[in-house]
Chain A
Amino acid sequence: MRQKTILLSLAALAAPAFLFLWEQVQATRLGYQVSAARTEVRRARERVAYLRLELERLNAPESVAEAARRRLRMGPPLPESVVVLGAPRLAPVPTAVPKRPAPAPAPLLASAIETSAPAE
């Protein structure tokens, strides 16, 4: 009975020490993992920053205008090519060319901007 008590006491003393040791080892191991993850995050952020800047570069008005001109043969719309939806309608000033019959109803977006106008 006495032996059992001694062994249990020793075990009770050793258990927190082992627990402490285990916790320290785990903390160090997790620390390495966190550190590695942080490095990975930092590098991913750096990569994202470069990609975002590249995206901005491609979205720059000059790049877009150049791409529109070269690839799609688009140009700035003429004033009469733009119809502002909801704006009051104004009487057109007649010119020498007679009016054509009204075209068939077009989709809303197509009627908003005529893209057939030649480039300026």
Chain B
Amino acid sequence: MSTLTRLRLCGWLCLLPVLPLAGRLFWLQLVRHEAYEAKVDRSVERQDLEIIPRGRILDRDGRVLAESLPAWSAFLDLKALADMDQPPERVLARIGEALGLEDAELRKLARAERRTVWLKRKMDYDDARRLRALDLPCVGLEPDELRGYPNGALARPMLGEVNSEGRGAAGLELAYDRSISGRAVPVRLRRDGAGRSIRRDDEDPALTPPDLTLTIDRAAQFFAEQALDEALAARRAAGGVVIVQDPSTGEVLAMAVRPADARRNHAVQDVYEPGSTFKLVTAAAALENRTLKPGELVDCEDGRWQVAPSVTIKDHDKQGRLDLADIIKHSSNIGTGKLGLRLGAKEFFRFSRLFGFGYKTGVPLPGESAGLLPDGPADDVRLANAAFGQGVAVTALQLSAAFAAVANGGTLYEPSLVRAVGAQPPRAPVAVRRVASPETVAGLQEMFIGVVEEGTGVSAKIPGYSAAGKTGTAQKIDPATRRYSATDYVASFAGWVPARRPRYSILVVIDTPRVGYYAAEVAAPVFSQVARRLLALNGVPPDRPLSVKGRVHVENTPAPKPVAPAPSPSPLPRHPSLPRPSFLRSAPRA
């Protein structure tokens, strides 16, 4: 055997042990690759939960009203704490310093019989950052969620709240919980011996809940709440509601509710006797049915009318014979009561229902009340009372929607609070029905303009703008005596502005005022204040001359010529039985 052959043989012998190894490697890496990878996965892979935060709630211009933030809950592993090379007291002191917890509290936690204890739940970003920076193996962080309302208490009775589990518990948070609710999504992680992990799944954008866009205007909501708070403080009242709607769509632009309770919305869940604002229904029914002949007057009995042997209806001002427009202008209970009797219960309550009273409005808020309307025949006393808004009960939103219907020319819209869910196109307004003929609605509009111009609602006037509306001062039932209270009232004013081209329909309700109680004194000025700020904010052009106290506004132009206000796009026909209000004749051409 030659030397070369021997060397070759040695070479092959050296190579021989490598061959089975190569074969085995080939078997493991290429043939059995998947099976062994799955085995490895089972031992190094773990599942974690990732929190997908709840959808935001935005106002109509995309400003945030509610937003969920990532939060963390920190726990302490007591066994890991004991195994640490530092004294536990020192570690606890560092934790306490980072989280702002007392030493005694931490020591008490450390004495627990369990292996793990919660250090702090729903921590914010800064707390979590400080804790992470300590890099302690005995402390763990669990992802959580925190619902934030950046505007504080603004619109909270409408927005509602979420519970500790992050689910909607009241208001819109509850009504749209299924749409905007956050979720915990399982995420597969692969972890190596050094504790480093690799995420196995990609993020799925489809799992992110949509945002909820409301019809609410944050600025309008603020103005409404500010005006309501000022009025409640000045009148020492128990509560109140201000609702602002766009009469052309029924969209609710603001809903201020006091007391501000995130779990209860008094504007839709509670009912009250509306008083004279309900004369809207009586006047509409009388106009539509031509209950009064043209020029016919109603005897208002000099302020006292015995409707039944033991029941007398009174007016706050002595009135003689009045036509329908003057009955509404002076808010005569006697005149309205007599009209109610002439209409009859069937027709009166039919009209009440036409305006949406007795039915839920369909607003997406939980616990809405339908109000209370008497069923079946009503005696004269009940009918006369109902004609001026006593003995019936409505929600503030029902009344607001009814006045918005008159403002827009007679279409009752479903009050809407939600414009869109996610990227959906904005929801179209839902017209429920027509409440009366165009002639009747035009007649009502004239009457309510008269109320503000020279009737009980003069304190609702807005400098530079025409307005229309109706006051309402209703007695409250005393639950102790089950009779009308002599001291507790609900003052309200419902109307719209500008009178001829309505942009805002506004309802003000002040519950149990202690300083004054007449609506003209208590509620109408709030209407004026809210309307004035909204009109100025949105640059609505004035339709009346401005009377300026102390000085005259001078523009940088030659002496301005009086210009008539722009005509209404579609002037509504006047009702034949109505005289033209005097203010229309005598008002300066503006």
Contact = CB atoms under 8 A, between A and B. Distances in A.
B397 interface: no
A43 B547 CA distance: 58
B67 to A, nearest CB: 6
A89 interface: yes
A88 B590 CA distance: 10
B555 A89 contact: yes
Contacts of B552: 92, 94-95, 97, 99
B364 interface: no
Contacts of B560: 89-92
Given A61-B151, A97-B552, A77 B536 contact: yes
B425 interface: no
B548 A80 contact: yes
A32 B561 CA distance: 77
B65 to A, nearest CB: 9
Interface in A49-85: 49-50, 52-54, 56-57, 59-62, 65, 76-77, 79-80, 82-85
A103 B219 CA distance: 33
A105 B67 CA distance: 47
Contacts of B196: 32, 35
A40 interface: no
Contacts of B554: 99-100, 102-103
A110 B560 CA distance: 20
Interface stretch (B266-274, B514-522, B538-546): B538-546
Contacts of B550: 95, 97
B70 A49 contact: yes
Contacts of B562: 90-91
A35 B556 contact: no
A79 B151 contact: no
Interface in A100-117: 100, 102-106, 111
A50 B542 contact: no
Interface string B203-244: 000000000000000110010001000000000000000000
Nearest to A77: B536
Contacts of A80: 463-464, 546, 548, 553
Among B63, B199, B464, B551, residue most surrounded by chain A Cβ atoms (within 10 Å): B551
Contact of B566 (A85, A88, A93, A94): A88
Given A47-B125, A77-B536, A60 B151 contact: yes
Given A91-B590, A93-B547, A50 B63 contact: no
Given A50-B69, A52-B64, A92 B199 contact: no
Contact of A31 (B198, B464, B564): B198
Nearest to A3: B8
B148 interface: yes
Contact of A90 (B532, B546, B549, B557): B546
Nearest to B64: A56
B29 A102 contact: no
Given A62-B222, A90-B562, A93-B546, A106 B590 contact: no
The range of chain B's interface size is: 35 or more
Given A50-B125, A89-B561, 12 more contacts: A35-B198, A49-B67, A57-B150, A61-B222, A80-B546, A84-B539, A85-B539, A92-B560, A95-B548, A97-B551, A100-B551, A102-B557
A61 B198 contact: no
A22 interface: no
Given A49-B67, A99-B554, A84 B541 contact: yes
B548 A56 contact: no
B464 A79 contact: yes
B556 A103 contact: yes
Contacts of B429: none
What size tier do the contact residues of chain A reach?
35 or more
Interface of A: 17, 20, 28, 31-32, 34-35, 38, 45-47, 49-50, 52-54, 56-57, 59-62, 65, 76-77, 79-80, 82-95, 97, 99-100, 102-106, 111
Contacts of A89: 555, 557, 560-561, 563
27 contacts: A17-B29, A28-B198, A34-B199, A50-B125, A53-B69, A56-B150, A57-B151, A60-B152, A76-B533, A76-B536, A79-B464, A84-B539, A85-B539, A88-B564, A90-B464, A90-B544, A90-B562, A91-B562, A92-B548, A92-B553, A97-B551, A99-B554, A100-B554, A102-B555, A102-B556, A103-B556, A104-B556
A54 B150 CA distance: 7
Interface string B111-155: 000000000000011000000000000000000000010111010
Contacts of A76: 533, 536
Given A90-B563, A97-B552, A62 B546 contact: no
B462 interface: yes
A79 B563 CA distance: 19
A95 B548 CA distance: 7
B309 interface: no
B154 A79 contact: no
Contact of A87 (B29, B542, B553): B542
A62 B154 contact: yes
Nearest to B220: A61
Nearest to A76: B533
B376 interface: no
Contacts of B67: 49, 52-53, 56
A57 B67 CA distance: 11
B565 interface: yes
A62 B152 contact: yes
B131 to A, nearest CB: 13
A62 B124 CA distance: 24
B197 interface: yes
Contacts of A54: 150
B565 to A, nearest CB: 7
B64 A90 contact: no
